[in-house]
Copies of this chain bind each other. A is one copy, B any other.
Amino acid sequence: MADQSTNTQTKILEAASRVFQRKGMEGARMQEIADEAGINKALLHYYYRSKDKLFLEVFRLAIHDFIPGIRDILFRDVPLTQKLDHFIREYMRVLLENPFVPMFIIHELQRDPDRLFQVFVEAGIDPSEILQQVERSLKDNDHRSMDPKHLMINVLSLCIFPVAGRPLLQRIMFDNDGRAYEAFLEERYQVVSNFVINALQS
């Protein structure tokens, strides 16, 4: 693996990531990926023998990128409100850096669920462990009682949806003003954090 080899590989993966996230697996064209990477189709196939293999690799990377220091936050020994606040801030931060990933994941997972779900398993995601953690935190203090699954999904919804739905929401509610929507998302961490914590107060 020479120097140029890894460089090209990186360029390919980054280009492919962008194109796949824009167009989805089916919508993406190998030609477009090659152009975006500044190479040609043949070289693409030299590195990744098929579009399918390339896609799977990109999908894998997206998920690993996206299950970041978040797990740590959930396991720190702090009160629930603080934990939620940290989680929401960190999650929104990562989301803004990778705005297309959630939509990408949802769409592709609907297209081919079982095969792609394996990638999650490989990534070592253990939801029951996480849920237990949330459940314990909920019991500790004097919060309104709540199913931890609903809480978890509420938080994820509030963070992910406005980012994933941006092309629609920005046009519908912000006159397609990108700056305004950017500002909206920036201030949203605080809004969501307050919203969730208020909702839990008894």
Residues in A lying within 8 Å of B, measured CB to CB? 22-27, 100, 103, 105-107, 109-111, 113, 117, 120, 125, 127, 131, 144, 146-147, 149-150, 152-154, 156-158, 160-162, 164-165, 167-169, 171-173, 184, 188, 191-192, 195-196, 198-201
Contact = CB atoms under 8 A, between A and B. Distances in A.
Contacts of A120: 168, 171-172
Contact of A113 (B149, B158, B171, B184): B171
A134 to B, nearest CB: 11
A157 B105 CA distance: 17
Interface majority SS (helix, strand, loop, mixed), chain A: helix
B24 A150 contact: no
A131 B161 CA distance: 19
24 contacts: A24-B24, A24-B107, A24-B111, A25-B27, A26-B26, A26-B27, A27-B27, A27-B111, A100-B110, A103-B106, A103-B107, A103-B110, A105-B168, A106-B164, A106-B165, A113-B171, A117-B171, A120-B168, A120-B171, A131-B173, A144-B198, A147-B191, A198-B199, A198-B201
Copies of this chain per assembly: 2
A111 B149 contact: no
Nearest to A173: B127
B198 A168 contact: no
Contacts of A192: 154
Nearest to A156: B161
A29 B37 CA distance: 29
A157 B152 contact: no
Given A105-B168, A125-B172, A196-B199, A188 B150 contact: yes
